[in-house]
Amino acid sequence: MLNNKKNTSRGAAILILIFATLFFVLIARFFYIQATGKAEGQALAAIAQKNHTRQTVIEGKRGTIYDRKGLPVAHDTGAYTVVAILDPSQTKDPKKPMHVTNPEKTAKKLAPLLDMSEEKLEKLMSKKGRVQVELGPGGRDISNTLKNKIEDLELPGITFIQDSKRFYPNGVFASHIIGYAQKNEEGKTVGKMGIEKSFNKELTETDGYMRYQSARNGLKLPDPKESIVPPKDGDDIYLTIDEKIQTFLEDAMNRAVKEYDPERVIGIVANPKTGEILAMANRPSFNPNIRDIDNFLNYAIGDSFEPGSTMKIFTLAAAIEEGVYNGNEYYKSGSYKVGDQQIRDHNKSGWGTITFNEGVQRSSNVAFAILANEKLGPDRVLQYLNRFGFDRRTGIDIPGEATSKILYQWPLEKITTAFGQGSTVTPIQQVQAATAIANKGKMMKPYVIKKVVDSTTNKVIVEKKPEVAGKPISPETAEKVLDILETVVTSPNGTGKPYAIEGYQVAGKTGTAQIPNPNGGGYLHGVGKNTFSFLGMAPKDDPSLIVYVAVKQPKLKAMEAGSAPVSLIFNSVMKNSLQYLKIEPEEEKATAVKKTKYGVNMDSYIGESTESAVANLKEKGFAPIVIGKGNKIEAQSPKAQERSMKGERVFLKTDGEPTIPDLADWSYRDVIRLSEFLSLEPSAMGSGYVVKDSQNITPGAPVKKGDYLIVKLQSPEEMIKSKQEEEKDKGKVKKEDDKDKGFPLDQ
């Protein structure tokens, strides 16, 4: 018994000792944690804060892209993502289902609205073990209007997540410049093309957040100890593009594409005083909202090709600058031999012996071959090509600029480059070079980014200023080049007649560039198998705009020339843009004064010998027309002291019986002048210029007062078309080897 009591007491003592030891250990642990704030090496305060701290993301906004006047051309806008709830447990009342109950029926109704197949949608909504799924890609970034249409269907389980998307309000609008941005797999908007891509870092936003203390159920505590880090919106970018002028260009291109279905169209509008690009577009293009992209290349800067006769502008400038150009000097047009190879004018036979000024107006390859080979020399031509920047990229501030390829190894290449064949350059290089002509000899570097602005503080981070890229020619040379280029548009002989704009003086140069045969063997041949272009500046005396337009392989209608689609674009864009910039058309009186600014007072030739009068007039740059077979001049038009322009026809009536001249290619204005001079009765069929062999009085036949003079007229486009058809009928148009047959049509 005593032993049992003794054992019981001993056991109790042991238990008390154990519990006492545990108690002291717990007390010691409590004081340790209280003193150090740590348990198992971890700070308990941090654990508690983590368990009771909530963080909410405050989304930032991607930067906006604006035009030069602050109109948005790319910005974030509200959008929604369509979501399908698949988990049946989300439905509490069977009469009001909150999940998709019939995937097949739901898919059938959503498919046409989301532009997705019924099969794809049904498959998405039939996934097992998923609570919900997004119905992409058609279900992402939908508009509020489409959201309302889907809600009107009252489909069980279909709901929406509010989001944002990148929006381009003008649709097809400078698309290759602006590019596009879209969400990646993480839901972040990222630039994929154009400025959206190259300036993605500047445009990208940084999300902010709000932190606060909460109870276990997630609700804010009365004293939540909030901390807010605000989001940083992306920087805004302002372009040099003018929304109005860009719209003029886009609309004109749309009309040309609809009417002529060309393979390619390029358009650039620039301010020659600053180098700012006011508009730039291509066809094919795309709508960045739907990204229907057939062509990723910005042809205006990213493609180099043979420019054709627009290159003659810069060869002419070089010749004037070097003092070797005499516009009144005569040369024999038609063909020019280089070694055993021939360079030919675009009409093959030429126009006989004409002045260099007329050669420029008619876009004579032979004239420029002589200037390049004999007057300047190949070395000086190359020097000026480099001065005008054709040996390097312009450095324009948008991605994708290509480089030129100047072929200058063989003697023929050194000459053909001077009139735009063989070597390749980019459209933007031509526009940059043309700023020197339009800006008193100073060549301006082209640019598209006007400034980058912090969207939060409105502080300007980067601002572009006009930059002089070189001074290839003097102001005096630039002025002379503009004067001559104006006659390309105004002269009856000029290839640029279709580009005349009423009320404005336009200076410019046409181009008809050859296209290499993709299958090898020289160049493509046939109607429309060229790249037709025009590089024009206006107003001529002090150009405010440069407009370059190129149209590749248009489908021309009967009796149409390549200038038709180009002038459709150029004339509309130039005229609308000048008027938009408040550069008003000149008054008729002011226009008349300006047009005679560079004219001269006509001398009297009455009583002089026919031979002397003709020689004197040709020396002064006029086109004398002898009427009759006598040896002395009895009458003239224009009369003595009348203001006359160089290149104008001067009628000289000799003694004896008057005879009618050959009127082929005359303007109807000159036909009327002749009729008034000889007291004839004029009559015309059609409009434009006199068709060869169409006059009712045979050239050289005598005429008397009161005779009827009847002619048939054609537009320049119709005349070129007729000549091409005539040559084709005679078997003269055929594929020729460039090495031994010369060079085909190039204006």
Distance between CA atoms of residues 114 and 125, nearest Å: 14
- Of 309, 333, 637, 667, the active-site residue reads 309
Distance between CA atoms of residues 599 and 591, nearest Å: 13
DSSP letter string over 451-474? EEE-TTT--EEEE----EEE--S-
Between the alpha carbon of residue 326 and those of residues 380, 388, 643, 713, the distances in Å are 17, 22, 22, 33
Two tokens, residue 569: 């674009």
Two tokens, residue 594: 């300006």
Distance between CA atoms of residues 668 and 674, nearest Å: 10
Label the pairing between strands 545-552 and 530-538. Answer: antiparallel
Q: Rounded to 5 degrees, what angle do the CA atoms 542, 536, 329 make?
A: 85
Within a 10 A sphere around the Cβ of 676, how many other Cβ atoms?
12
Residue 70 phi, psi dihedral angles, 5° rounding? 90, 15
Within a 10 A sphere around the Cβ of 655, how many other Cβ atoms?
14
Residues 473, 321 contacting (CB under 8 angstroms): yes
Which own/partner contact pairs does 338-345 have at CB distance under 8 Å and 24+ positions apart? 338/369, 338/373, 338/411, 338/412, 338/415, 339/411, 339/412, 340/740, 341/412, 341/739, 341/740, 341/742, 342/740, 342/741, 342/742, 343/369, 343/412, 343/415, 343/416, 343/742, 343/743, 344/742, 344/743, 344/744
H or E segment at 297? none
H or E segment at 726? helix 716-729
Q: What is the DSSP letter of 339?
A: T
Burial 381-393 (b: 16+ CB within 10 A, else e): bbebbebbbbeee
The CA-to-CA distance between both ends of the chain, in Å, stands at 135
Burial category of 219 from C-beta neighbours within 10 Å (exposed 0-12, middle 13-18, buried 19 and up): exposed
Residues 194, 295 contacting (CB under 8 angstroms): no
H or E segment at 580? helix 563-580
38 contact partners, CB below 8 Å, separation of at least 6: 44
The answer to whether 679 is a known catalytic residue is: no
Residue 230 phi, psi dihedral angles, 5° rounding? -70, 155
Q: Is 534 in a helix, a strand, or coil?
A: strand
Residues 610, 652 contacting (CB under 8 angstroms): yes
611 contact partners, CB below 8 Å, separation of at least 6: 631
Q: Where are the alpha helices (DSSP H) in 165-323?
A: 175-178, 194-198, 200-203, 243-260, 299-302, 312-321
196 contact partners, CB below 8 Å, separation of at least 6: 65, 74, 166, 178, 179, 180, 181, 203
Torsion of CA 166, 171, 172, 175, to 10 degrees: -20
Active site positions, annotated: 309
